[in-house]
Amino acid sequence: MTSQAQDNLTQAKRLVIKIGSALLVDESSGLRRDWLRALATDIVRLRARGQEVVLVSSGAVALGADTLGTTHTKRHLQDNQAAAAVGQVRLAHAWQETLAEHDITVAQILLTIEDTETRRRYLNARDTVETLLSIGAVPVINENDTVATQEIRYGDNDRLAARVAQMVSADCLVILSDVDGLFTQNPDDHDDAELVTLIDDITPDIAAMAGEPKRLGVGSGGMITKITAAKIAVASGCGVLLINGTHDQPVSHFETTQTGTWFTAKTAPISQHKQWLAGTLTAAGQVIIDEGAQDALQTGKSLLPTGVLAVDGDFQRGDTLAIVNEAGTELARGLAAYSSEDARKIIGHNSRDIEEILGYRGRRELIHRDNLVLH
């Protein structure tokens, strides 16, 4: 590991630290209080050198299952939501109790992916976090698993942590994992796997190193969700540090050993509005475009109806759309200027014919370039 990650971590004004369930909760003994206290000393040290800290903490479902005695049983969605309702109380109390030993005020914020993808909710959440940081509190953010569905079944908090880092304009996202970083192959299966210490660009080859998602034990997601999170964060100008969190004081351990993977942030982050748009994880629909429209988008132009071959999904004006080519590759995300009903009527037509087709004067573009971001 070069000193680049060390320097970026030390110089960061605002840090988001993501803690996974597998680090916080042991299947046999429950909450790992000694580890949590050790991590608290890292948080105290970071704050003492003038850095703001936001925590994204998993663990509610695992703690609740431990309390309810369902850790080793097969659970359905409603069982996980019930476990989350019980466990969230324990999780919040654990953070409050641990950081109170250092006279640090803790604030709990529960979010869903929808909260970070609906613009109004996104801005409200950002203002809340900003206010808490301004008064010296440590926000502890978790998914609102009692009402979430997709997140509980398919993901961990990695992507949420990236959205939080983006939302609060963090300089560095620290993801605590159960391995030293990203390896060229799965180190459990390949003795010759090598740690990748520096990633300047997340290419398809880099993404392929992540392997398949996991769904084992109290953790979920695996390395692939961490790569997805890194893509979101670096696009917003936030560097990502992936390190082994199983050590006591894992941040201090990294600063001593410099063992981990650093994802370099883009030097020219896109605007806040486009950061939010680029990081959306769900699209209400998609538009399939021809080669000419693809070339136009690459030169910074808007998406006109004439270059659209087909529209999929049921969406309204202002919803997020995926823009794909004829091969099915997603090229961009954008906000629809028309509903799916009206979009289907005007695709393939010249913009000057829109008023005649729809009976009212609408925009000449299906997605304006100001509301469009290329991957």
Q: Are residues 331 and 236 in the same domain?
A: no
Q: Of 47, 60, 53, give the one whose Cα is nearest residue 17.
A: 53
Q: Are residues 267 and 287 in the same domain?
A: no
Q: Are residues 74 and 213 in the same domain?
A: yes
Q: Are residues 247 and 343 in the same domain?
A: no
* Tally of CA atoms within 13 A in the half-sphere of 309 that contains its CB: 13
d(CA 287, CA 297): 13
- Among 211, 246, 275, residue at a domain's last position: 275
Report how many domains make up the chain.
Answer: 2
Q: What confidence tier does 152 reach under pLDDT thresholds 50, 70, 90? A: very low
Angle at which helices 77-100 and 60-68 cross, to 10°: 110
Q: Is 276 exposed, middle or buried (0-12, 13-18, 19+ CB in 10 A)?
A: buried
pLDDT single digits (tens) 129-150: 999 999 999 999 998 877 766 5
Q: Are residues 199 and 173 in the same domain?
A: yes
Answer whether 240's CB lies under 8 Å from 173's CB: yes
Percent of the chain residues past pLDDT 90, beyond the cut: 55
Mean model confidence pLDDT for the chain: 88
Answer whether 244's CB lies under 8 Å from 178's CB: yes
Q: Are residues 144 and 202 in the same domain?
A: yes
Q: Are residues 136 and 81 in the same domain?
A: yes
Beta-carbon contacts of residue 251 (< 8 Å; ≥ 6 apart)? 9, 17, 42, 45, 46, 174, 243
Q: Are residues 71 and 188 in the same domain?
A: yes
- Range 167-182 average pLDDT: 93
Q: What confidence tier does 354 reach under pLDDT thresholds 50, 70, 90? A: very high
- Tell me the two tokens of residue 199: 């990633």
State the pLDDT at residue 274.
75
Whether 177 has a pLDDT exceeding 60, the answer reads yes
Q: Are residues 11 and 132 in the same domain?
A: yes
Q: Are residues 234 and 127 in the same domain?
A: yes
- Among 228, 249, 275, residue at a domain's last position: 275
Q: Are residues 254 and 369 in the same domain?
A: no
Beta-carbon contacts of residue 105 (< 8 Å; ≥ 6 apart)? 99, 135, 136, 137, 138
Whether 153 has a pLDDT exceeding 70, the answer reads no
- Bridge pairing between strands 330-335 and 372-374: antiparallel
- Structural domain including 292 reads 283-374
CATH number (domain holding residue 336) = 2.30.130.10
State the pLDDT at residue 2.
54
d(CA 24, CA 60): 10
CATH number (domain holding residue 127) = 3.40.1160.10
Beta-carbon contacts of residue 248 (< 8 Å; ≥ 6 apart)? 34, 35, 38, 39
Query: What pTM was computed for the model?
Result: 0.77
Q: Are residues 64 and 34 in the same domain?
A: yes
- Among 275, 307, 323, residue at a domain's last position: 275
- Looking at per-residue pLDDT, the higher value among 274 and 290 belongs to 290
